[in-house]
Amino acid sequence: MQLTQTYRIRGMHCASCASIIEKSLGKVVGVGSAEVNYGTESAKILFDKTKTNPQGLSKVIEPLGYSLVIPSASDMGMSESEHAGHLGLNQSKREKLAELAAMRTKIISIMPMTVIAIVIMAWGILAEFEVVRGIPETWNTSFNWLLALMATYALFVVGKPYLLGVSRFLRYGKANMDTLIGIGTSAAFVYSIIVIAFAVQLRAYVNVDVTYFDVAIVVIAFITLGKYLETRAKIKTGDAIEKLLNLQAKTALVLRDGREVEIPIGQVVHGDLIIVKPAGKIPVDGVLTEGTSYVDESMVSGEPMPVKKIVGDSVVAGTINTSGSFTFKATKVGSETMLARIIQMVEEAQGSRAPIQALADKISSVFVPIVLVIAFVALGVWVLVGAQYLGFSQALSYGLVSFVGILVIACPCALGLATPTAIIVGVGKGAREGILIKDAATLEKLHKVNVVVVDKTGTLTRGKPELVSFQNQSDKSDADIIVILASLENKSEHPIAHAVVSYAKEKNIGLVPVEQFDMIKGKGISGMVHGVQYHVGSAKLAAELGAPLAPLEKDTREGKTPVILAAEGKVLAIAMVADAIKPEAIAAVKDLHALGITVVMLTGDDKNTARFIADMVGIDDVVAEVLPEDKLNKIKELQAAGKVVAMAGDGVNDAPALAQADVGIAMATGTDVAIESAGITLLHGDISKLVKAIRLSKFTMRGIKQNLFWAFAYNVVGIPLAAGVFYPLFGWLLNPVFAGLAMAASSVSVVSNSLRLKSKKL
Ligand code: ADP
Ligand code: MG
């Protein structure tokens, strides 16, 4: 049984960890694929349940210093995956906070030592330039012992994770960033210990007055500080999910045996009658059965005005009742609620990998071994070649400085953080704005879009057409005709159908049974009423049926859509349906134009009607009277011409076109979300959010590119500098202390740059 599950991973410290874990898991029998993300510290694993299990998988990576967080699925009747989603997150956050607190204690303890080490170091350097007097000979020895003591604490207490990295490398041959830091700092430490322990014997060969305890102390302090700041910032990148989770009510007031009882949210079952008091949170999705109220749905739909709810209306979890109280019947609980699905989608999107990350991933997976080789080569070259010019003692000293400097500066951390942190922030920001993004790849593709194809009904217009005129051309009474028309339309889901049915309802006209109902794609419907075969649909349909029709030019030029009832080759009635333009559509089209994007309207509606609407909202390219498959072909045509196409539609009959487009955008109406169908779902069916989504994508991609650039640039410059490549030319050599500072700064600046996205105005 193949199963895809996402687990959080403990113990990840660097991007190279991701590739180590991926490779190790991938080798396990029964694992189809493993995708590990450093940004979210999670692994998406496809595995065969009969061949392996999460516990077994965790065992595989435990020797390497990692483990899977396996949720226990007992509480509150939640499913296992739901549990992984909800509690797993809180748990990982709790762990992260505990980790932060532990790191802080370590940093506080090592800071005074760092200051002492820096003062001594600075003294030495200033003395060299004869700014101050040199450290007295007698003090020097005591300083050395003091530094040795502090370095021991730094390395074995604060730097323990790095030493573990070294021991894992020695035992399993797997190296990550911890290994690099560990080898670098312990090399400095061991060399220094040997020098002071065997000062007498070594004096003839090396400068025994120079030790590197200070390097070990300061590097470990800076890197731990950098990790601390990075972890703190990373927690912030994920707070969009937390805000969504906080929308969830903890308890529900249900009617059980005629009594009101408050129960934990997890115990609510389908059919429960739930009471919502004024200002109360709605705990699960359901349908109002008693009372009326206004509900603030802004957190879920983005619609700022509270929505009136009467009996029969649906309510969704996470929204807030304003005044009045009501009772509703639970229809969706636990992971079925819309809020749960949104949270799941956001989490999955945040954990998914953007194609732009591929290069960085490839680099960081080979980076660590390559850096190790470079460090040893640099050391060797210094000792062998440098000795001829500088003498052995000086060359060894510089070689060691290079060796440590390279290992410390070359952490691929910033590279690994560059993409995921920006994606997490971008997707999270989108969710807060009512823009639900399916995965990182979609967010990436969106910034390249240069043609937006929009469906008319529901996208540019409200999608709530109204029947504005009715013309009876038969010998039956108006009421009889409306009965037939409305009964047929009652079977259809099309917005036009709703207009006709509502009209009949308003007139208190009852419906009759329909037999052999059928849809005629892109044209209308057909069915039998009282033994007569009827057709309802567009003028085109009527023409095809051979029913002559007076020209409708005037009405269609005003943006109205004709609905024709025909039978036996004759037109019986013409109803005119009009759909108001969404006020935000005009501004949105203008904004899209400003972004250099061409807007094309595709519709199955009448040519004149389409043209009218297009002119109203400022669209230049209109393709009308198209069948759903022609919509698909039009998109293919644009793509063949080299365009990157986004298609925005209502997601129901536009599904094939949405799937064909480079980015499919579903316009969700109200609180009904067609999450699965499209790459992007715009809540509240708001076309202006499409502009925001594109801007979000552009900001996010710009952030990623900046991050990647700086992360690459930093290593491209840092490694040769640390290796001493510029020494023969300019006499430049990087003090490992600065390497430590630079490496800490690089990760922190990448995460901060990503966090900047949060405050960008869309
Ligand atoms: P669009 O979503 O662009 O309106 P559709 O393929 O849904 O395109 O419909 C195309 C046209 O077919 C509509 O404009 C309408 O004229 C006609 N039509 C489709 N379904 C119905 C229906 N149930 N009742 C009346 N007309 C319909
Ligand atoms: Mg449609």
223-240 confidence digits (pLDDT tens): 888 888 888 888 888 788
Ligand nearest to the CA of 497: 1
For residue 478, is pLDDT > 50? yes
Q: Counting Cβ atoms within 10 Å, is residue 191 exposed (0-12), middle (13-18) or buried (19+)? A: buried
Provide φ and ψ at 337, rounded to 5°: -65, 155
DSSP single-letter state for residue 282 = P
- Please report the atom of ligand 1 found closest to the CA of residue 627: 6
**Of 328 and 341, the one with more pLDDT:** 328
If one counts every other C-beta atom within 10 angstroms of the C-beta of residue 161, the result is 18
For residue 321, is pLDDT > 90? yes
Question: What rounded mean pLDDT belongs to the chain?
Answer: 87
Rounded Cα gap, residues 289 and 312, in angstroms: 6
**Conformational region of residue 458, where left means phi above 0, alpha means psi within -120 to 50, and beta covers everything else:** left
- 620 catalytic? Reply is no
Rounded Cα gap, residues 275 and 514, in angstroms: 39
Q: Are 415 and 660 in contact (CB under 8 A)?
A: no
Ligand nearest to the CA of 486: 1
Torsion of the alpha carbons at 705, 707, 709 and 710, rounded to the nearest 10: 160
Residue 579 CA, ligand 1 centroid: distance in Å: 13
Ligand nearest to the CA of 540: 1
The confidence band for 402, taking pLDDT boundaries of 50, 70 and 90, is very high
pLDDT at residue 487, rounded to an integer? 95
pLDDT at residue 87, rounded to an integer? 39
Ligand nearest to the CA of 649: 2
Mapped onto helix, strand or coil, the DSSP state of residue 732 is: coil
- Ligand 1 pocket residue status of 522, Cβ below 6 Å: yes
pLDDT at residue 619, rounded to an integer? 92
The confidence band for 676, taking pLDDT boundaries of 50, 70 and 90, is low
- Ligand 1 pocket residue status of 538, Cβ below 6 Å: yes
Q: 713-716 long-range contacts, Cβ below 8 Å, gap at least 24?
A: 714/414, 714/742, 714/746, 715/409, 715/410, 715/412, 715/415
Mapped onto helix, strand or coil, the DSSP state of residue 105 is: helix
Ligand nearest to the CA of 601: 1
pLDDT at residue 19, rounded to an integer? 84
Q: What is the mean pLDDT of residues 400-408?
A: 90
- Ligand 1 pocket residue status of 457, Cβ below 6 Å: yes
- State the residue for tokens 């060797």: 380
Dump strand ranges (E) for 686-751. none
The confidence band for 217, taking pLDDT boundaries of 50, 70 and 90, is very high
Residue 536 CA, ligand 1 centroid: distance in Å: 10
Provide φ and ψ at 8, rounded to 5°: -80, 150
For residue 590, is pLDDT > 90? yes
For residue 705, is pLDDT > 90? yes
- Ligand 1 pocket residue status of 604, Cβ below 6 Å: yes
- Ligand 1 pocket residue status of 626, Cβ below 6 Å: no
The confidence band for 83, taking pLDDT boundaries of 50, 70 and 90, is very low
The confidence band for 672, taking pLDDT boundaries of 50, 70 and 90, is low
Q: At what angle do helices 15-26 and 177-197 cross, to 10 degrees?
A: 110
Instruction: Kindly tell me the sign of the dihedral angle through the C-alpha atoms of 732, 737, 738, 739.
Output: positive
Q: Counting Cβ atoms within 10 Å, is residue 360 exposed (0-12), middle (13-18) or buried (19+)? A: buried
For residue 39, is pLDDT > 90? no
Q: At what angle do helices 607-617 and 583-594 cross, to 10 degrees?
A: 70
Nearest Cα to Cα of residue 348 among 601, 676, 616 = 676
pLDDT at residue 533, rounded to an integer? 95
The confidence band for 674, taking pLDDT boundaries of 50, 70 and 90, is low
346-369 confidence digits (pLDDT tens): 888 888 888 888 887 788 778 888
pLDDT at residue 76, rounded to an integer? 37
**Of 67 and 175, the one with more pLDDT:** 67
Lowest mean pLDDT, pick from 166-175, 517-526, 630-639, 695-704: 166-175
For residue 673, is pLDDT > 80? no
- Ligand 1 pocket residue status of 465, Cβ below 6 Å: no
Q: What is the mean pLDDT of residues 14-20?
A: 79
**Which residue's CA is minimally distant from atom 21 of ligand 1?**
524
pLDDT above 90 covers a percentage of the chain that reads: 41
- Ligand 1 pocket residue status of 496, Cβ below 6 Å: yes
Residue 508 CA, ligand 2 centroid: distance in Å: 28
- Ligand 1 pocket residue status of 536, Cβ below 6 Å: yes
In angstroms, what CA-CA distances link 41 with 4, 21, 413, 511, 750?
17, 11, 13, 57, 17
Q: What is the mean pLDDT of residues 479-505?
A: 92
Q: Which of 285, 296, 455, 555 is catalytic?
A: 455
- Ligand 1 pocket residue status of 456, Cβ below 6 Å: yes
Domains and CATH numbers, the chain: 2-78 (3.30.70.100), 434-461+582-694 (3.40.50.1000), 462-581 (3.40.1110.10)
Lowest mean pLDDT, pick from 193-207, 371-385, 699-713: 193-207
For residue 73, is pLDDT > 50? no
Nearest Cα to Cα of residue 647 among 445, 353, 492, 431 = 445
What one-letter code names the amino acid at 380?
G
Q: What is the mean pLDDT of residues 751-756?
A: 92
If one counts every other C-beta atom within 10 angstroms of the C-beta of residue 755, the result is 18
If one counts every other C-beta atom within 10 angstroms of the C-beta of residue 52, the result is 18
State both tokens at 132.
Answer: 């101050």
Nearest Cα to Cα of residue 530 among 474, 481, 579, 478 = 481
**Of 349 and 591, the one with more pLDDT:** 591
For residue 21, is pLDDT > 80? yes
Rounded Cα gap, residues 465 and 577, in angstroms: 6
Residue 75 CA, ligand 2 centroid: distance in Å: 43
Q: What is the mean pLDDT of residues 179-190?
A: 91
The confidence band for 92, taking pLDDT boundaries of 50, 70 and 90, is low
pLDDT at residue 630, rounded to an integer? 86
Residue 538 CA, ligand 1 centroid: distance in Å: 7
529-568 confidence digits (pLDDT tens): 999 999 999 988 988 888 777 777 777 778 888 999 999 9
Q: Are 424 and 237 in contact (CB under 8 A)?
A: yes
Q: Are 746 and 711 in contact (CB under 8 A)?
A: yes
- Ligand 1 pocket residue status of 579, Cβ below 6 Å: no
- Ligand 1 pocket residue status of 459, Cβ below 6 Å: no
101-113 confidence digits (pLDDT tens): 999 999 999 999 9
What pTM was estimated for this model as a whole? Answer: 0.80
pLDDT at residue 98, rounded to an integer? 87
Q: What is the mean pLDDT of residues 321-337?
A: 91
456, 605, 606: residue to mutate for ligand 1 pocket, most atoms within 8 A of CB: 605
Q: What is the mean pLDDT of residues 407-418?
A: 82
The confidence band for 378, taking pLDDT boundaries of 50, 70 and 90, is very high
**Which residue's CA is minimally distant from atom 6 of ligand 1?**
522
**Of 752 and 656, the one with more pLDDT:** 752
Rounded Cα gap, residues 443 and 397, in angstroms: 50
Residue 282 CA, ligand 2 centroid: distance in Å: 32
Rounded Cα gap, residues 543 and 551, in angstroms: 11
Nearest Cα to Cα of residue 70 among 61, 81, 60, 78 = 81
- Ligand 1 pocket residue status of 609, Cβ below 6 Å: no
Rounded Cα gap, residues 147 and 126, in angstroms: 18
**Which residue's CA is minimally distant from atom 18 of ligand 1?**
524
- State the residue for tokens 């049915």: 501
**Which residue's CA is minimally distant from atom 16 of ligand 1?**
538
Residue 231 CA, ligand 1 centroid: distance in Å: 53
pLDDT at residue 671, rounded to an integer? 52
pLDDT at residue 90, rounded to an integer? 53
Residues contacting 4, CB < 8 A, separation 6+? 44, 45, 46
- Please report the atom of ligand 1 found closest to the CA of residue 603: 3
Residue 474 CA, ligand 2 centroid: distance in Å: 29
For residue 77, is pLDDT > 60? no
Residue 453 CA, ligand 2 centroid: distance in Å: 13
**Which residue's CA is minimally distant from atom 14 of ligand 1?**
605
485, 496, 619, 623: residue to mutate for ligand 1 pocket, most atoms within 8 A of CB: 496
- Please tell me the total number of residues recorded for the chain in this structure: 762
